[in-house]
Chain A
Amino acid sequence: MKILVPVKRVASLDDEFELRDDGRDVDPDFCEFDLNEFDEYALETAVLIKEAAPEGTVEVVVLTIGPDDADDTLRKALAKGADRAIRVDDADLGDADRVAIARIIAKVAEQEEPGLVLCGAQSSDFGHAQTGMSVAALLGWPRVAVVSRLDYAPGAASATVERELEGGLVERIEVETPAVLTIQLGINTPRYASLRAIKQANAKAIESRTPTDLGLSTGEIGGAGALSRVRRVYVPERGKSEMIEGTPSQQAARLLEIIEEVQG
């Protein structure tokens, strides 16, 4: 059985950044990229299922959509226990949004036929919380969002999951499989990759595809397959704290003063 884990390369901005010329995104030259934190938990969940099953019976496949550089993200996932990695090139994706990205992931899922698709509950840079559940909708598969515990024996007809709700309330659910689940932070403790695993990951081939290879039609690719379009990105005017300057000792003294003032 396979478990498919779609992962995102998330961006964090440099202290100083500029917008793209069209004003619809940040210039990628000012971005640092890394594996989405939520996806690390989804990957660890998949690897734990693999390790609990008889050796060789579960294969963990990671997938990302991005340029050549995104191979780094996939290698990180390989070093943390994924068996295979697929990158779908984003050159033709233009104005793709989460739903357009989900169309690609759903196609890969149709071809790989995994027993589970595990996604991060959201991305740490934008937090749309759309992609994973869009994949489920496109596949017509059962789905649960924000899973904080998963009990699943590979091949079983259902899984028992807990989903974490507002205020820390937990609902226990039985869900049919194959299913798409989005994974919440804290479900496990993602491992660090060993040096040996990193070396092995660097030697592994990454399978490369294009949206057309996967059989998507022009009307499904990029902006044509999207349900939204970014019109403008801007830096908001916002409140700024009154900064307390000085040495740590002076800063601490002022902090104590404020505490006393507020408490009267």
Chain B
Amino acid sequence: MSGILILAEHRRGELRAATLEAIGAAGQLKAAVGGEVSVAVIATDPSAFVPAVSVGAVDEVVTITTPEAATFEPHLYERALSDLIAARKPALVLMPHSVDSWALAPAVAIANDLGFATDVFGLQVEEGAVVATRAGYQEKVFVEIDFPGRAGVLVTLRSGAFEPAAGPAQPRITPFEAGDAQRRSRHLDWRDPPATGGIDIPGSPFILSIGRGVGDEANVAQFLELAEGLGATLGCSRPIADNGWLPKARQVGQSGQLAAKCNLYVAMGISGSVQHQWGMKHVENIIAVNKDPEASIFSIARYGIVGDMLEIAEEVRKQKGL
């Protein structure tokens, strides 16, 4: 009952960056948990990912060659990972809180009788026991979760919550043979997000973004004009793109774009879900306009205006002569 096991996540031949954050978290906890840090790679050719995961506190890379796992398949991954957990009995298993993990982590936790928490951004070890912290009620409270009586705990980590591991490591490589598993689904193809049509959220230094508060499709056009008049790129939150009011290329957030080069972000009528914040909370100057004084966007914004976005927009237009 010791050590930390991390499942490497990869897609289309590339290691996903969230894996490095999980390795970073393991590095912070290694001394308190005790034992080694191992990374499991499940792939048709796991050796391809060994260099990318040989970083930080990693002592060992466990390669599980699974000819059928050219792409993620939850049932194959479940078998392979469960067999490894049964053999090793790690005290802590870490995965990114990603779409792949959503389909995998509950099954692995249940099958191995592990303590289980998801979307975790804080981890401590108290008297040898893991305590996980996550948020609740739309981020308005924090929740500490413990796992009484569990020998092992599986935790999925919120993206961006832990510093990614850096610096080379020289782990030993251990091949592991998992039992036969039956796949229950079949990959057909990938579809990349539609062309952005010249809309450049990742490259834009100034983004004016609108959310549910815009109220009606008829109100959207004026914000395109307002953004243009101010020299900003118009962005939006998920519901606006889901409604088809603006193209997906303008959506900021986890299933959309990252405002990577942004220095000024004006969020109008956006309450600030975790998924949206992922795309913009790093921006140095965030100005939030929202009717709800308790909206979670105000906890990350530098400046806040409690008010009606349409009214504020109207005033801005007037004063700028737009």
Contacts and interface: CB of A to CB of B under 8 A. Distances in A.
Interface residues of A, number: 78
B303 A234 contact: no
Contact of A176 (B113, B142, B184): B184
Contacts of A256: 316, 319-320
B90 to A, nearest CB: 16
Contacts of A249: 315, 319
Interface in B289-314: 289, 293-294, 298-308, 311-312, 314
A192 interface: no
Interface in A9-41: 11-13, 15, 17, 26
Given A124-B138, A241-B301, A229 B145 contact: yes
A255 interface: yes
Interface stretch (A49-57, A60-68, A157-165, A206-214): A157-165
Contact of A15 (B243, B294, B302, B318): B294
A251 B138 contact: no
B91 to A, nearest CB: 15
A164 B255 contact: yes
Contacts of B263: 262
A162 to B, nearest CB: 7
B293 A15 contact: yes
Contacts of A163: 99
Interface stretch (A82-90, A137-145, A196-204): A137-145
B304 A241 contact: yes
Interface in B1-30: 11, 16
B103 A144 contact: yes
B132 to A, nearest CB: 8
A219 interface: no
Contacts of B172: none
- In this complex, the member of B71, B241, B294 whose beta carbon has the largest number of chain A beta carbons within 10 angstroms is B294
A44 to B, nearest CB: 13
Contact of B110 (A99, A124, A253): A99
Contacts of B300: 239
B223 to A, nearest CB: 14
B142 to A, nearest CB: 5
B234 to A, nearest CB: 15
Contact of A236 (B142, B231, B257, B312): B142
5 contacts: A99-B116, A122-B102, A145-B102, A168-B248, A233-B141
The 6 closest A-B pairs by CB, nearest first: A241-B304, A252-B315, A186-B242, A168-B193, A142-B184, A137-B107
